[in-house]
Amino acid sequence: MSAPVDNNLRPRTPLGMVMWIGIAVLGAGAVGGIALARGETINSLWFIVAAVCVYAIGYRFYSAFLAARVLVLDPTRATPAERHDDGRDFVPTNKWIVFGHHFAAIAGPGPLIGPTLAAQFGYLPGTLWILVGAVLGGCVQDFAILFFSTRRDARSLGQMARDELGPVGGVAALLGVMTIMIILIAVLGLVVVNAMKHSPWATSTVAATIPIAILVGLYMRTLRPGRVLEGSLIGVALLLFAVWGGGWVDHQPGLRGWFDHEAPDLALLVIGYGFAAAVLPVWLLLAPRDYLSTFMKLGTVISLAVAIVILRPDIRMPALTQFIDGSGPIFGGKLFPFVFITIACGAISGFHSLIASGTTPKLLSNERDMRMIGYGGMMMESFVAIMAMVAATVLDPGVYFAINSPAGIVGAEPAAAVATISGWGFPVGAAQMQELARTMGEATLFARTGGAPSLAVGMASIFSSAFGAGLLAVWYHFAIMFEALFILTTLDAGTRVARFMLQDMLGNLVPALGRTSWTPGVLLTSAAVVAAWGYFLYMGTIDPLGGINSLWPLFGISNQMLAAIALCVATAILMKCGRARYAPVTALPLAWLVTITSAAAWEKLFSPELRVGFLAHASDLSAKLAGSMIDPEKIAQTRQLVFNDHLNAALTLTFLVITWVLVLDTLRVSWRAFTGHVHPPLSESPHIPTRLVEDWVRD
Contact set with another protein (CB under 8 A): 85-89, 91, 93-94, 96-97, 100-101, 105-110, 184, 188, 220-221, 225-229, 232, 282-283, 286-287, 290-291, 344-345, 349, 351-352, 354-355, 358-359, 489-490, 493-494, 496-497, 500, 555, 559
Question: What sign results for the dihedral spanned by CA atoms 284, 290, 291, 297?
Answer: positive
Q: Shortest gap between Cβ of 384 and another protein (angstroms)? A: 12
Instruction: Calculate the CA 374 to chain-centre distance.
Output: 17
Q: What is the rounded CA–CA span in Å between residue 122 and residue 128?
A: 11
**Cβ proximity of 172 and 565 under 8 Å:** yes
Question: What sign results for the dihedral spanned by CA atoms 684, 686, 691, 694?
Answer: positive
Q: Shortest gap between Cβ of 194 and another protein (angstroms)? A: 17
**Cβ proximity of 363 and 81 under 8 Å:** yes
Q: Shortest gap between Cβ of 360 and another protein (angstroms)? A: 11
Q: Shortest gap between Cβ of 490 and another protein (angstroms)? A: 6
Question: What sign results for the dihedral spanned by CA atoms 216, 221, 222, 225?
Answer: positive
Nearer to another protein, 143 or 476 (CB): 143
Q: What is the rounded CA–CA span in Å between residue 634 and residue 630?
A: 7
Q: Note the residue count of the chain.
A: 699
Nearer to another protein, 249 or 600 (CB): 600
> By three-state DSSP, how is residue 8 classified?
coil
The one-letter amino acid code at 367 reads E
Q: Shortest gap between Cβ of 372 and another protein (angstroms)? A: 15
Q: Does the bond joining 427 to the residue before it have cis omega, within 30 degrees of 0?
A: no
Nearer to another protein, 135 or 354 (CB): 354
Q: What is the DSSP letter of 364?
A: B
Nearer to another protein, 240 or 280 (CB): 280
Q: What is the rounded CA–CA span in Å between residue 547 and residue 560?
A: 20
Q: What is the rounded CA–CA span in Å between residue 165 and residue 572?
A: 7
Instruction: Calculate the CA 12 to chain-centre distance.
Output: 38
Question: What sign results for the dihedral spanned by CA atoms 343, 346, 347, 352?
Answer: positive
Tell me the angle at which helices 123-133 and 45-57 cross, rounded to the nearest 10 degrees. 20
Q: Shortest gap between Cβ of 566 and another protein (angstroms)? A: 13
Nearer to another protein, 154 or 656 (CB): 154
**Cβ proximity of 539 and 614 under 8 Å:** no
User: How would you class 584 by CB atoms within 10 Å of its CB: exposed for 0-12, middle for 13-18, buried for 19 or more?
Assistant: middle
| Rounded to 5°, angle at Cα 530 from 659 and 384 | 60
Nearer to another protein, 106 or 134 (CB): 106
The one-letter amino acid code at 668 reads R
Q: Shortest gap between Cβ of 215 and another protein (angstroms)? A: 16
Nearer to another protein, 46 or 295 (CB): 295
Q: Shortest gap between Cβ of 413 and another protein (angstroms)? A: 35
Q: What is the rounded CA–CA span in Å between residue 669 and residue 681?
A: 10
Q: What is the rounded CA–CA span in Å between residue 280 and residue 302?
A: 32
Nearer to another protein, 277 or 472 (CB): 277
Q: What is the rounded CA–CA span in Å between residue 699 and residue 686?
A: 27
What's the distance, Cα to Cα, between the start and end of the chain in Å? 25
Nearer to another protein, 86 or 699 (CB): 86
Q: Shortest gap between Cβ of 689 and another protein (angstroms)? A: 20
Q: Shortest gap between Cβ of 257 and another protein (angstroms)? A: 34
**142 φ, ψ to 5°?**
-60, -45
Nearer to another protein, 91 or 430 (CB): 91
Q: What is the rounded CA–CA span in Å between residue 445 and residue 449?
A: 9
Q: Shortest gap between Cβ of 499 and another protein (angstroms)? A: 11
The one-letter amino acid code at 558 reads S
Nearer to another protein, 452 or 587 (CB): 452
Q: Shortest gap between Cβ of 78 and another protein (angstroms)? A: 16
Q: Shortest gap between Cβ of 292 and another protein (angstroms)? A: 11
Q: What is the CA radius of gyration of the chain?
A: 25
Nearer to another protein, 559 or 586 (CB): 559
Nearer to another protein, 345 or 530 (CB): 345
